């Protein structure tokens, strides 16, 4: 078994330094695109409302939404019509305990089953095909060619820095580990610093986007080698927030709420200020080119918490936990 580990900052630092001048000057025109709702099938509205939606994704035919509280995956057409649901709470095959994410490869669905600490492999109707246990609570998943299953997890922050990204074979053998966590000894602050979004790129690779205090987007291929990092331009702004920690306040620079990737563009869901003087999910999705410049902004009619792009269509879950299907240019 091959196993290796390296610091995220170490592998990305040189690339970011080389790119430091590219993402902040010589701004290009940014185009705004309104997006409107595609009409959902009102006969199935109840099925498009969730208790705790944690993930939204799509394949060639359908949309998948994971409801962690209901321990199920719901499947919809790309127009938002409910098709089926599968899963229930438990420890048996096809059962979940707080599922977190899924990815589709061919006719197989790979689900991170968080509190059962395992990966389950299912067919497109939810039938159990196999799986394996992992030694941590898995969060996000990307399945690459050659049977590479890439997982992320949020570290507990007890024993110092630890890898947050892990690659396994389809047999459950650990292949490599990357992206060491931030560690200061303050578990609350460290948790905020270690929230990431992992998305699949277009080069048989993954992109790691930090939700706070980091403008660099890091890239790893299926063998764990670091690729050219993206430094997102300054026009995509941080939003600062104070965290009350141990009787004092520490500043965190919020970066994005969620992220997605499609056809060469990284989509970043911007943060927005709330009435409670806090930060929450916004209604703007910034499309970032490979050189880090923002090229387009999609204006949504509602704030959303989860996004997934598919050409001109954007699948999302809004702040009322409802499925929304938007189309660029739709009014």
Between strands 294-299 and 216-221, the pairing is unpaired
Sheet holding 99-105, edge to edge: 99-105, 108-113, 118-123, 128-133
Q: Please tell me the predicted confidence (pLDDT) of residue 249.
A: 81
- The domains of the chain, with CATH numbers, are 8-19+31-328 (2.120.10.30)
According to the model, what pLDDT value does residue 44 have?
Answer: 52
pTM above 0.75, yes or no: yes
46: phi then psi, degrees, rounded to nearest 5: -60, -35
pLDDT at residue number 227: 80
The dihedrals phi and psi of 55, each to the nearest 5 degrees, come to -155, 140
DSSP per-residue codes, 104-163: EETTEEEEEETTTTEEEEEETTS-EEEEEE-SS----EEEEGGGEEEEE-----SSS--E
Distance CA 84, CA 175 (A): 35
In the chain, what is the greatest distance between 2 CA atoms, to the nearest angstrom? 56
Q: What is the pLDDT along the chain (331 residues), one digit of tens a residue?
A: 333 333 444 434 434 333 343 444 456 789 999 999 986 654 457 899 999 999 999 999 999 999 999 999 999 999 999 999 999 999 999 999 999 999 999 999 999 999 999 999 999 999 999 999 999 999 999 999 999 999 999 998 888 999 999 999 999 999 999 999 999 988 889 999 999 999 999 989 999 999 999 999 999 999 999 987 899 999 899 999 888 777 778 889 999 999 999 999 999 999 999 888 889 999 999 999 999 999 999 999 999 999 999 999 999 999 999 999 999 987 7
pLDDT at 26: 58
**Which residue blocks in the chain are alpha helix, DSSP H?**
8-19, 187-194
17: helix, strand or coil: helix
Residue 46: per-residue pLDDT: 86
Torsion of CA 287, 289, 293, 294, to 10 degrees: -10
């Amino acid at each position: 078994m091959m196993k290796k580990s390296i610091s995220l900052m170490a592998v990305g630092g040189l690339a970011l330094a080389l790119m430091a001048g590219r993402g902040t000057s010589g701004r290009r025109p940014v185009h705004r695109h309104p997006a409107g709702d595609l009409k959902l099938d009102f006969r199935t509205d109840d099925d498009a409302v969730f208790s705790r939606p944690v993930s939204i994704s799509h394949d060639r035919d359908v949309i998948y939404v994971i409801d962690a509280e209901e321990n199920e995956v719901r499947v919809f057409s790309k127009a938002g019509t409910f098709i089926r649901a599968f899963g229930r709470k438990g420890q048996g095959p096809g059962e979940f305990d707080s599922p977190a994410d899924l990815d589709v490869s061919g006719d197989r669905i790979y689900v991170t089953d968080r509190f059962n600490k395992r990966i389950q492999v299912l067919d497109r109707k939810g039938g159990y095909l196999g799986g394996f246990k992992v030694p941590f609570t898995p969060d996000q998943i990307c399945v690459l060619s050659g049977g590479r299953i890439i997982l992320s997890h949020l570290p507990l922050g007890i024993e110092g820095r630890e890898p947050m990204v892990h690659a396994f074979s389809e047999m459950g053998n650990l292949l490599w580990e990357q992206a060491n966590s931030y560690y200061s000894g303050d578990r609350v602050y460290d948790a905020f610093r270690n929230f990431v979004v992992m998305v699949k790129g277009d080069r048989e690779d993954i992109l790691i986007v930090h939700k706070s205090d980091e403008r660099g987007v890091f890239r790893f291929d299926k063998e764990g080698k670091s690729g050219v990092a993206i430094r997102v331009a300054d026009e995509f702004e941080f939003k600062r927030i104070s965290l009350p920690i141990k009787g004092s306040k520490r500043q965190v620079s919020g970066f994005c709420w969620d992220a997605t990737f499609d056809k060469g563009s990284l989509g970043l869901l911007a943060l927005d200020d709330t009435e409670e003087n806090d930060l929450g999910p916004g209604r703007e999705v910034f499309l970032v080119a490979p050189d880090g410049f923002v090229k387009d902004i999609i204006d949504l009619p509602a704030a959303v918490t989860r996004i997934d792009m598919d050409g001109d269509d954007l699948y999302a879950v809004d702040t009322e936990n409802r499925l929304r299907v938007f189309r660029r240019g739709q009014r």
